[in-house]
Structure 1
Amino acid sequence: MGKIVYSCITPHGGEIIPELAGKQPKRMEKTRQRMCQLGKRVEAHHLEALIIITPHGIRIDGQFSIINSETVEGSEQENQRTYYMIRETDRSLAKEIAQEAQNMNLPCGLLNFGTAEGPLSRLPLDWGAVVPLAFMPDVPVVIITPSRLNSNEDMLAFGKALRTAVDKSDKRVGIIASCDWCHTHDASGPYGFHPLAKQVDERVVEYIKKGEIEALSEISKEEIEQAKPDGIWQALILAGAIPKSERAVDFLSYEAPTYFGLICAEISHE
C-alpha cells in the first residue's frame, strides 16, 4: 500500500537556487534558507517518488498534463549563470494517476516525445519544477501541469484522483505544489504594480497558515487578473490530495523581495 508521506508548497524564483544568486545573494536569502530546510525534511522521509505540480510545464488547454517520458531535462538561467538537471520519470505512477483521473471523468493527457521509451524519450523540464527540485533528493518524478481552463472543483477532484493512485501504489511519495504568488508588487517588474498584490498575498498567507487551502478558490477572477498569482491551481490540487482533516501546516516564510511573492510551507499529515 502506497502513501503520501510528505507535501509542501514551494516557490520557483530562479535566484532561490544558491548557484544562481548572483551579486545579490541576500535578495531571496530567507526563502533560500527555508527551501534548504524543506529539502532536508524531504530527505528524511526516504521518498521513492516525488510529484511536482507546476504551472509552467507543457500545458494542454482544458486538461491535466502528465509527463510520461523516460526522463525530463531542464535548466534555469539567472545572473549569467545556468543550473541544469536531468531526472528519471516514474512512468508507472504517472500512468496510475492518469487512470484514476479518467475514472473520475477528469480530462488529462499523458505526454511523451521522441521514442516510446529509452534515452530519446525525453521532455523539457520547466523552471517551476527545476527550482524546487534543486533542493530535493534525486528520486523519480512525476510532473503535472494543470490548465486554468478547468474549474477549481476539477483541481480538488484531480487531487483526490492523485491520492487514490498513490494509495494503490507501493511507494512512499511526496508532493510539491510549486507556486509563486502575486506578480504585481513592483512597478519595475514585467507586470507593473497593483495594490491588490499585497492584499491577495496577505489572504493567501492567512489561508495557508489556517490550513484552509480550499479557500483559495474564493479569490475572484478580477483579483487574479490584477494581482496575477500563479499558485492557486497547484495548491488546490494539493488540497484535494491532503484533506483538511489530515493537514498540519508549518508555515515557514513569506517574502516579496522583487515583483512576486514567495511562500514556503510544509503541509504535514496528522
Structure 2
Amino acid sequence: MTQLVFACIAPHGSEILEELSGGNLSLMARTRASMVELGRRMTSAAPDVLVVLTPHGTRAEGQFAVANPERVRGEVQDHGGTVTLERRVDRALAQRIAAEAATDGVPVALLNYATSEGPLSVMPLDWGALIPLWFMPDVPVVVINPPRGMDFAGHVQFGRALARAASAAGRRVGLIASADWSHTHAASGPYGFHPTAAQVDATVEAYVRAGDLEALATLSADLVKSAKPDGLWQVLVLAGALPPTERQVELLSYEAPTYFGLLCAAVTPTCV
C-alpha cells in the first residue's frame, strides 16, 4: 500500500500569490482558485511531509539533486511585493529517497550547505518550490531538482524509487510536481513567441485530462526546445511514483494569461 496520500501538478508563476500580483487579482484568478483547492485537498490528506519536485532549485548536472540541509528558506519578489517561506527538511526521507534511487542505478546527489547540521545548514528555497508550498500545510519538506539532460525513463524510475522510500519510511507523503508549461506564448516574454507553445500546451492538457502522464515522454525534442515547457521532468517523476493503476487524475484548470502556461491537476492515489 502506497504512503503517497495525495499528489498534484502545480504551477509557480509569482502573480499567483496575491502578495505578488501588484493588485491585478484577475490576471491568474483561475489558477489561484485551483491552487487554493489543491492546498485544501492536500491538507485534508494530512501528509507528514511534502516532497516538492522543482525545475528551478540547486542543480547537479546529470543527477537528481536532493536537498539535505536542516532547513530551506526562500524569498520571492515581484510587483513591489515580497514573500518569504522557511521549512524544516525531513532529512531521513531525503536520504532514503537518494539511497533507493542509487540502488536502481539512477544518478543522485545529496546536497547540503555550509555545515552538515545545525543552524547554518540552510539551502535556498527557489520560487518553483516556494509558490506551491505557500498554499500547502506547514509540514517538513524534501526538495528535489530533476535533471534535464537525462532520458525520460530515468525520471519515471526515480519516481518508483521515491514511492518505495515513502513506503519504507512509513511517512504519509504529499507529492508536488511544480510545473509551468510552454514559455513562448507571447512575443513580449523573455523567450519570444513560437506557435508551438499553444500546440504543446494543448497536448499536455489532453494527456493530463486523460490521466496519461506517461505520454508526456513522447513529446519531441524539437517541440520541447521551441515551446520551452519546464514541467515534463517533474510530472514524469510523479508518474513513476503513482503508476496508472494507482492514480486518478483530475484537471482543475489551464490558462496562459502571460507568456507561459499554467495548469493545475489533482492526482489522487486509489490504494492509500
TM-score bin (small chain): over 0.9
SS in structure 1 at match of 2:154: helix
SS in structure 2 at match of 1:160: helix
1:5 deviates by 0.4
The separation in 2 between residues aligned to 1:47 and 1:159, in whole angstroms, is 18
1:170 deviates by 1.6
- Which residue of 1 is the match for residue 243 of structure 2? 243
SS in structure 2 at match of 1:194: coil
- Which residue of 2 is the match for residue 109 of structure 1? 109
- Aligned residue type for 1:12: H
- Which residue of 1 is the match for residue 32 of structure 2? 32
1:185 deviates by 0.3
The separation in 2 between residues aligned to 1:2 and 1:253, in whole angstroms, is 27
4+ residue runs over 2 A deviation: none
The separation in 2 between residues aligned to 1:209 and 1:6, in whole angstroms, is 17
Identify unmatched segments of 5+ residues in structure 1: none
Contact 1:2 1:170 in 2 (8 A): no
- Which residue of 2 is the match for residue 119 of structure 1? 119
- Which residue of 1 is the match for residue 68 of structure 2? 68
Cα shift readout 1:145-188 (whole Å, capped 9, x = no counterpart) = 01111110000000000000001012111000000000000010
TM-score of the two chains, using structure 1 as the length reference: 0.99
Contact 2:248 2:267 in 1 (8 A): yes
The separation in 2 between residues aligned to 1:206 and 1:269, in whole angstroms, is 20
Cα shift readout 1:195-240 (whole Å, capped 9, x = no counterpart) = 1000000000000111110100111111011100000000000000
TM-score of the two chains, using structure 2 as the length reference: 0.98
SS in structure 2 at match of 1:189: coil
- Aligned residue type for 2:242: I
Alignment of 1:8-157 (within 5 A): 8-157=8-157
Cα shift readout 1:19-48 (whole Å, capped 9, x = no counterpart) = 111131100010001101111111111110
Contact 1:93 1:142 in 2 (8 A): yes
- Which residue of 2 is the match for residue 165 of structure 1? 165
The separation in 2 between residues aligned to 1:261 and 1:31, in whole angstroms, is 10
1:269 deviates by 1.3
1:2 deviates by 6.6
Contact 2:184 2:191 in 1 (8 A): yes
Identify if the C-alpha distance between structure 1 residues 127 and 248 changes in structure 2 by more than 3 Å, giving closer, same or farther: same
Contact 1:73 1:124 in 2 (8 A): yes
SS in structure 2 at match of 1:240: helix
1:134 deviates by 0.5
Contact 1:2 1:173 in 2 (8 A): no
SS in structure 2 at match of 1:203: helix
Contact 2:2 2:163 in 1 (8 A): no
Contact 1:2 1:169 in 2 (8 A): no
The separation in 1 between residues aligned to 2:210 and 2:2, in whole angstroms, is 27
The separation in 2 between residues aligned to 1:131 and 1:113, in whole angstroms, is 22
- Aligned residue type for 1:100: E
SS in structure 2 at match of 1:217: helix
Query: Percent identity between the aligned chains?
Result: 51
The separation in 1 between residues aligned to 2:19 and 2:193, in whole angstroms, is 29
Aligned-residue CA RMSD in angstroms?
0.9
The separation in 1 between residues aligned to 2:156 and 2:2, in whole angstroms, is 20
Identify unmatched segments of 5+ residues in structure 2: none
Contact 1:9 1:265 in 2 (8 A): yes
